[in-house]
Amino acid sequence: MNYLFYLALETIPLGIAVALEFTGPLAVAMFSSRRAIDFLWIILVIAGLGLLLPIGDNIHGLDPLGILYALGAGVGWALYIVFGQRAGKGYGAATVSIGSLIAAFIFFPIGMLQSSPELVFSWSILPIGLAIAILSTAFPYTLEMIELADGFVALPGGFGTLEEFSEVFTWSQIGLHQKPLGIFNINDFYQPLLAMIDKMVDEKFLHEKYRHMAIVEQSPIQLLDKFESYIAPSIKTYDK
């Protein structure tokens, strides 16, 4: 998806490339929407695309190959949404890592063929490449996986689990999502973490309303039952 998008930028303007690529998720939204209000937003998006895209004779000035690259990127985006949601239900947050790893194995050799190893591993280029990887892939894909999820459950694990738990907990605090967050406290595995959360509240590092924002249960059935009735705290960390 990103590879085709960058190829499109070589021959067509950025705004047009973005508009053409956006036709992919727009198509998914059109075919999956069920509420009347959804179609209102779709109409507004189409109107915005109509303002961005060169309609009529102006389109003849665009490179056809660049247009195909941008539309191909849109198809890839649509497929990512459809299959990413299914994969996310089976593999959770690991879906993004697995997908990015597969993409790296496919496109790294292509990059090596199109340039020299000295250029790819140059200290003047490598930091820029890493920044692009984070901003154009890792961070947006993480946000999309969070958007696709119905909720989050922390199973017993290590530092990676704690990092992901802290991330979705904090994003709920600042209002980036209002989805339930659960702790599967098997054999009281997370009791030290719960004690630390209490300590944060006592020391005024965490607002009282967040003490029980994470639903803690030892039974998966009870945990999911509480997910159904979850209401996110109204106060945010930036409220006074």
DSSP character string of 63-95: -HHHHHHHHHHHHHHHHHHHHHHHHHHHHTTHH
pLDDT in tens, 150-208: 888 999 999 888 988 898 898 888 887 888 999 999 999 999 999 999 999 999 898 88
CB neighbours (10 Å) of residue 181?
A: 20
- Token duo for residue 141: 């894909």
171, 146 Cβ separation under 8 angstroms: yes
Tokens 């509420």 -> residue: 35
Task: Specify whether the CB–CB gap between 151 and 165 falls below 8 A.
Answer: no
Q: In the numeric block, which tokens belong to residue 206? A: 């965490």
CA–CA distance, 11 with 8 (Å, rounded to integer): 6
How far is CA 18 from its chain centroid? Answer: 18
3-state class percentages of the chain: helix first, strand second, coil last, to nearest 5: 70, 5, 25
| pLDDT tens digits, 77-131 | 888 777 776 766 666 656 666 777 777 788 778 777 777 777 767 777 778 777 7
Res. 216: pLDDT tops 90: yes
pTM: 0.50
Rg of the chain (C-alpha set) = 22
Cβ proximity of 218 and 185 under 8 Å: yes
